[in-house]
Amino acid sequence: MLTPEQSVVAAILLCLAGAVLTLLVSRSKTVAGWLAFAITAGSAALVLSAVVPVLTKGPGHPAQFLTMPAVGFALRIYVDGLSSIFLLLAVLVAVPAALYSIRYMKHYADYGVGRYYPHSLLFLAAMYGLLTTTDMMWFFFIFWQLMTLPGYALIRYEHRKPENVRAANKYLVMMQIACAATMVGAWFLAVVGATATGSDSLKYDFDTVSANLPAMLASKPFDTGVAFALFLAGFGIKMGMWPFGQVWLPDAHPAAPSPVSAMLSGVMIKTGVYGLMRYFLWLVPPDAHANYPLANWGWLIAILGTVTLFTGTMQALKQEQSKRLLAFHSIGQIGYILLGTGACMALLPVVEPTGNVRLLAAIAFFGAIFHVLNHGLFKALLFLNAGSMLHATGTQDLNKLGGLIKFMPLTAVTALVASLSISGVPLFNGFASKWSIYVATIQGTGAAKYLAVCGVIAILTSALTLASFIKFFGVSFLSRTSALVKQQAAKRSKLEVCGLMQAPQVFLAVLCVALGVVPALAFQLMGAALNSSRQGFGTALANAAPMTSTPVAGLETVNNTALFAPVALAVVLGLMFLVVRAISKLGGAQRRAAAPWLCGYASEAECHRYVAHNFYGEIKRYFKWLGGSPAKKK
């Protein structure tokens, strides 16, 4: 039986081997696709075999695989609860994405898959590595580059389009800056810190740095501050935090093939969140808390999160290209995660006799982590939906879409689920995580005054998100059938994507609904995860145990101030639905189909369709200064 650490390394090696194998068989798109899927699934099984024991029985021990003490170089892998959650997310998205790719990649007539599957597998391997390595320098660098370079190749997959190459270049530059910032930060802590307490063969290791930190925080508060600021910048770039996210993310995500977009947005940017949580909350040992201005970092991150969520979503509202719209929403949703994390950090150090505030800190953290998971699921789903639309119609332009629900009912239903999820509609997963963030920020306002305002801006932004997805879903699937869709439908026998592409969408949609109706599952999972990562502030968070969660009764905060029982809600809503349906049949009215009314003279035409461009003109006008408006067509 492999230890969790060995399993992860095995998964990484499997992916690396798979990269070579898929390159060899890349002549056949089908064979390469199925092979890549098999390898992804195999690696996922390995990762799951690592994650499950960690979450059920607690973590193992860090394992060292390659050591070169001369240069402070060691591949040290450690799978704890926090890593497990992110690993879980990675496999939950990677497997559907790999399955989706098999048929999806066939629609690229001019591009082979030789540059696709190998890179995707390398990309996945890098994510496994980055989420488990404890080396803050060299292996961090290696995994980071292993993620960045294949990512670069994937983004410029359609390299004959100059805008894709530009997007990829931007991505590459930003990732290198982020890499450098993070490494310089680690250098600050390791080298400057190491001289203070004597050298170690694993001087860049997480545990070494952590052990050295108390002394350094006491003696060199400024240097440590700089290091943490660099971490924030580095991971901030990766996750798409304002103002860095706007630079690369909206260009990169739409350029990549849709399954890759799903991976980029669903998982890749979450590694930034992982890094942020790991470094800010797990690195500092409990005895150094007095010198560590956690609350100030929390303040900064919560504010940055609020700005990120508002700007990202407001810019998303202006978009008219499906994947670009989704990419901007990734920024917006990352803002929620940042706000949760920041609120947690701001509230955690507050000492107060009832322990209420610590409870809220834990709720905020749960909200952030849960939102990481949720965003991964629904955003991946949305990118797959966008991919299906692209596959069916050949365009990302929402202005040219309309009425797809008639031709692609299944994709439409999954897209509706994802749209409602991201908008935070109750009984879908996005609501439960946002609910936690709101509870924490608003109640936490007693300890940190600004948090309630942040929370309310988050509520406002959630209405913006809703607006944006009403538009996204409405103009593409509902509205009237557009000329382009009619033309495509006439050309092909059916527009709906095949079963191989439907399955991943259905899988993700089911997860979204399941986590929405039974969020207690996720909370129990996260509770287990925190229990298996008792390091730094993790211990405090694990001890807080702020929620009672049972699948049927739902969630309730321990202090009884907030509760959410989705099952009861679902039952009542379902019953009411049936009642209303019965009322509607009372009169025995006849149904008849007719075309919409156009004032009696104009006949239905493409020019009468109210397209995406027209939506929310007033709001767009007021927030023009915020940027992100799509470029005018020549």
- Residue of 67, 622, 627, 629 that binds another protein (CB under 8 A): 622
The single-letter DSSP state of residue 135 is B
Which pair of structure tokens corresponds to residue 204? 């860049």
* Amino acid, res. 152: Y
Q: Which of 610, 624, 627, 629 binds another protein (CB under 8 A)?
A: 610
Dihedral pair phi/psi, residue 159, rounded to 5°: -75, -5
Size of the site for another protein (CB under 8 A): 96
Phi, then psi, of 64 in degrees rounded to 5:
-105, 135
Beta pairing partners, 205 = 135
Site string for another protein, 422-461 (x = CB under 8 A): -xxxx----x---x--xx--xx-xx--x-xxx-xx--xx-
**CA–CA dist 284, 252 (Å, integer):** 34
Told to check if 160 binds another protein by CB under 8 A, we report no
- Is residue 625 a contact point for another protein (CB under 8 A)? no
* Shortest Cβ 374–another protein spacing (Å): 15
Task: Take residue 354 and report the two structure tokens written for it.
Answer: 């009832």
Contact 164, 156 (CB under 8 A): yes
In DSSP terms, 373 is beta-bridged to none
Minimum CB–partner distance for residue 337 and another protein (Å): 18
Q: Which of residues 560-599 bind another protein (CB under 8 A)?
A: 560-565, 568-569, 572-573, 576-577, 579-581, 583-599
For residue 494, the minimal CB distance to another protein (Å) is 16
Footprint on residues 525-554 left by another protein (CB under 8 A)? 554
Q: Shortest Cβ distance from residue 349 to another protein (Å)? A: 19
Q: Shortest Cβ distance from residue 33 to another protein (Å)?
A: 32
Token pair for 571:
């039952």
Three-class secondary structure of residue 531 per DSSP: helix
Please tell me whether residue 406 binds another protein under the rule CB under 8 A.
yes
Q: Which residues pair with 64 in a beta bridge?
A: 76
- For residue 574, give every residue at least 6 positions away whose Cβ sits within 8 Å of its Cβ, in sequence order, or none: none
In angstroms and rounded to an integer, the radius of gyration of the C-alpha atoms of the chain is 24
Cβ-based neighbours of 578, under 8 Å, separated by 6 or more: none
Stretch that binds another protein, among 62-70, 287-295, 329-337, 399-407 (CB under 8 A): 399-407
Cβ atoms of 512 and 429 closer than 8 Å: yes
Alpha helices per DSSP H over 279-428: 294-317, 322-347, 356-393, 409-422
Question: In this chain, which stretch among 53-61, 252-260, 462-470, 533-541 interacts with another protein, using CB under 8 A?
Answer: 462-470
3-state secondary structure of 458: helix
Q: Is 31 exposed, middle or buried (0-12, 13-18, 19+ CB in 10 A)?
A: middle
Query: 12 vs 442, which CB is nearer to another protein?
Result: 442
Which residue type sits at 576?
M
Q: Which is nearer to another protein, 52 or 466 (CB)?
A: 466
Min separation Cβ 573 and another protein, Å:
5
Which of 162, 353, 600, 631 touches another protein (CB under 8 A)? 600
Instruction: Kindly give the interhelix angle for 117-132 and 4-24, rounded to the nearest 10 degrees.
Output: 170
Identity of the residue, 116 or 365, whose beta carbon is nearer to another protein in the bound complex: 365
Pick the piece of the chain touching another protein (CB under 8 A) from 256-264, 418-426, 518-526, 531-539.
Answer: 418-426
Dist CA 170 CA 628 (whole Å): 16
C-beta of 2 vs 425, nearer to another protein: 425
Stretch that binds another protein, among 27-35, 97-105, 141-149, 604-612 (CB under 8 A): 604-612
Using the minimum distance from each CB to another protein, give the nearer residue, 237 or 447: 447
* Residue among 196 and 598 whose Cβ is closer to another protein: 598
- Residue 196 within binding range of another protein, rule CB under 8 A: no
User: What DSSP state is assigned to residue 71?
Assistant: G
| Smallest distance, another protein to C-beta of residue 364, A | 14
Assess 479 for contact with another protein (CB under 8 A). yes
Interface with another protein, residue 58, by CB under 8 A: no
Least separation, in Å, of the C-beta of 93 and another protein? 26
d(CA 273, CA 434): 17
Residues from 67 through 126 that contact another protein (CB under 8 A)? none
Which of residues 56 and 584 has its CB atom nearest to another protein in the complex? 584
Cα–Cα–Cα angle for 330, 388, 90, nearest 5°? 45
Whole-number Cα distances in Å, 34 to 100, 340, 370, 456, 515: 10, 39, 31, 47, 29
Nearer to another protein, 65 or 610 (CB): 610
If DSSP codes are grouped into helix, strand and coil, which group holds residue 65?
A: strand
Q: Residue 608, interface with another protein (CB under 8 A)?
A: yes
Closest approach of Cβ 555 to another protein, in Å? 10
Q: Could you say which of 13, 17, 463, 545 contacts another protein (CB under 8 A)?
A: 463
